[in-house]
Amino acid sequence: MTRYRMGGILAMGLANAERRRRMGLYRQGDIVLREVSQVPEDAHPCPGGILAYGERTGHSHRIDGDGQVWRQDTRLYLELEQPSRIVHEEHETLTLPRGLYEVVGQREYVSPEEDRLVFD
């Protein structure tokens, strides 16, 4: 009984690890692209293919190729029909496989009620 239970727990752990491995996580400087299963229905398309834009430096993380950016409130999603490249003026180019991704910017703590994005 205990052996079967331990086997089940081990299998669950392995399945979670496999799921995490499959849900890819890619970082380019101060943004992270996290693989998701679907884009929210109320998201609307954003033209331009820019994932993050620095007002101070003028640098941006953007798609080099085909891809659709979706926005839901403050959240950004990226839909790639085929493997595409994410480029930036300073960072190395990142190649992503096809799929759906959530774009997460790096943030900084200000107070318990407030964070701010550090992208410049």
Nearer CB in complex with other proteins: 32/46: 32
Q: Residues 6, 9, 13, 27: which binds other proteins (CB under 8 A)?
A: 27
Say whether 119 sits in a helix, a strand or coil: coil
- The Cβ of residue 85 has, within 10 Å, a number of other Cβ atoms equal to 13
The answer to whether 28 contacts other proteins (rule: CB under 8 A) is yes
The answer to whether 106 contacts other proteins (rule: CB under 8 A) is yes
What kind and span of H or E run contains 11?
A: helix 2-22
Nearer CB in complex with other proteins: 45/107: 107
CB of 116 to other proteins, least distance (A): 9
The answer to whether 57 contacts other proteins (rule: CB under 8 A) is no
Number of residues that bind other proteins (CB under 8 A): 24
70, β-bridge pairs? 45, 77
The answer to whether 94 contacts other proteins (rule: CB under 8 A) is yes
**What string of DSSP letters covers 30-66?**
TEEEEEES---TT-EEETT-EEEE-TTT--EEEEESS
Task: Give the range of 7-15, 45-53, 62-70, 99-107 binding other proteins by CB under 8 A.
Answer: 99-107
Nearest to 94 by CA among 1, 27, 35, 18: 27
| Binding-site ranges for other proteins (CB under 8 A) | 20-21, 24-29, 32, 34, 90-94, 104, 106-112, 118
